[in-house]
Structure 1
Amino acid sequence: MNKRVIAAVAAGALALLGVLVLVVWAQGANDRAFEGAKLVSVIRITKDVSQGASLDDLAGSTEIVKLPAESVPDGAVTDLDQITGLATNASLQSGEVLLKSRMAVPGERKGKTDVPKGFQEISIALDPEHSVAGAVEAGDRVGVVVTFEPKDSDKPQITDFVLNQVLVTKAKTAVVGEKGEISGTMITLAVNTLDAERVVHAQKWGTVWLTLQNSDTDPSGSKPITAQEVIE
């Protein structure tokens, strides 16, 4: 064997060793990112899935991953046996955690609430901090809180409740990243014409938060808040 062949073999061996070291380091970095966190095994979508997909269809488009418990949405599927006989009631995107609310008996309508007569739907995209950590689902009632920063520098920022007991008709499942982070949720609300304008204006020119409300929620006591009211 001449020197060139020996050098080529050695170079190949070193390259392979470098790849192995990189893989081991990357795995270690991922483990370190989750160090100290309570991990939960859940099913995650690996390829886009169409509405009406069966359990057999999902078997080839999912994986089991361990994510920090605090980042796992409520109702996450931990084993495909939990959804035997069901089919997806909406299209699913790669990266999202599979939720039980996204499954239904074939032919049944799930994951969407009918729009009340005279109302219309409007959607807003919110990150977890602004959407109750992604816990909002179809059928829930929410409050809408808005913060504005006036263009005139001499006027204070203002925060106020603008809507209460708003019906959620759809809630797009949050997409979860490799480290368990939730990137956002698409929330669809049923509103009247004036409230639709309020939501659009708030989303365009301010910052929107949702609160999760129920039949016992007391919406009274709200008023416009500035920094002065916060520290009083």
Structure 2
Amino acid sequence: MNKRVIAAVAAGVLALLGVLVLVVWAQGANDRAFEGAKLVSVVRTTDDVSQGASASDLAESTEIVKLPAESVPDGAVTDLDQIAGLATNASLQAGEVLLKSRMVAPGDRKGSTDVPKGFQEISIALDPEHSVAGSIKAGDRVGMVVSFEPKDSSAPQFTDFVLNQVLVTKAKTAIVGDKGEISGSMITLAVKTLDAERVAHSQKWGTVWLTLQNSDTDTSGAKLITAKEVVE
């Protein structure tokens, strides 16, 4: 075997080793990103899934991934056997952690709530910080807090509670990236006409927080807050 052949073979072997090293490094990238964090296994969608898909159908559109425990929403499915015989109650997006609340008996509509007579629906997009860590679901009651920064620089920024006990009719949450981050929630509210305008204006010009409320929530005592009231 001449020197050129030997050199070519050696180069090929080195290239193969380089590829193998790169693959091993890439496979360990997520583990390094999560180093020190407590990881839990959950089911995550790899493709968009239509409403009404059965648990058995999900086998081809999901994967088991390990994510930091603090980024995993309550009710996350850890194994498809947990939802055997159920079907999705809404369409799912690729990258979404599968929640037990998304699965119901075939034909059931528990993933959404009917709009009360005289009300209308409006949706707002919020990150986890502003939507109770992405835990809001259909049927919940929420309050809405809004902060505004006036264009007049002489006027103070202010925050106020603008709505209480608002019915959530739909909630699409828990879109999770490769590093375990939840990118946002889409919350649909049932409101009357004036409140729909308040929601739209707040989403456009202010910063919105939703609070999770129940029948025992005390909604009294709210007032317009500026920095002065915060430090008093």
Please indicate the TM-score interval, normalised by the length of the shorter structure: over 0.9
> 1:166 & 1:136 partners in 2: Cα distance?
12
The aligned residue for residue 209 of structure 1 is 209
More displaced stretch, 119-128 vs 25-34 = 25-34
> 1:132 & 1:9 partners in 2: Cα distance?
59
The aligned residue for residue 219 of structure 2 is 219
- Whether 1:142 and 2:115 are equivalent positions in the alignment is no
- SS of 2:136's equivalent in the other structure is coil
- Whether 1:59 and 2:59 are equivalent positions in the alignment is yes
- SS of 2:221's equivalent in the other structure is coil
The aligned residue for residue 160 of structure 2 is 160
Post-superposition Cα deviations, 1:72-127, rounded to whole Å, max 9, x if no partner, equal 11111111111111111111111101111111111111200111110000000100
> 1:231 & 1:16 partners in 2: Cα distance?
64
- SS of 2:222's equivalent in the other structure is coil
* Alignment map for 1:193-204 (pairs within 5 Å): 193-204=193-204
Q: CA deviation at 1:205?
A: 0.5
The aligned residue for residue 48 of structure 2 is 48
> 1:8 & 1:87 partners in 2: Cα distance?
56
The aligned residue for residue 82 of structure 1 is 82
Residue segments in structure 2 that go unaligned for 5+ positions in a row: none
Post-superposition Cα deviations, 1:121-154, rounded to whole Å, max 9, x if no partner, equal 0000100000000000000000100011111111
- SS of 1:18's equivalent in the other structure is helix
Residues 143 and 212 in structure 2, CA contact (< 8 A), matched pair in contact too: yes
The aligned residue for residue 38 of structure 1 is 38
The aligned residue for residue 71 of structure 1 is 71
> 2:181 & 2:102 partners in 1: Cα distance?
20
TM-score, with normalisation over the residues of structure 1? 0.95
The aligned residue for residue 15 of structure 1 is 15
Q: CA deviation at 1:23?
A: 2.5
Residue segments in structure 1 that go unaligned for 5+ positions in a row: none
Residues 56 and 84 in structure 2, CA contact (< 8 A), matched pair in contact too: no
* Alignment map for 1:174-185 (pairs within 5 Å): 174-185=174-185
> 1:121 & 1:163 partners in 2: Cα distance?
15
TM-score, with normalisation over the residues of structure 2? 0.95
- Whether 1:172 and 2:172 are equivalent positions in the alignment is yes
> 1:132 & 1:125 partners in 2: Cα distance?
13
- SS of 1:12's equivalent in the other structure is helix
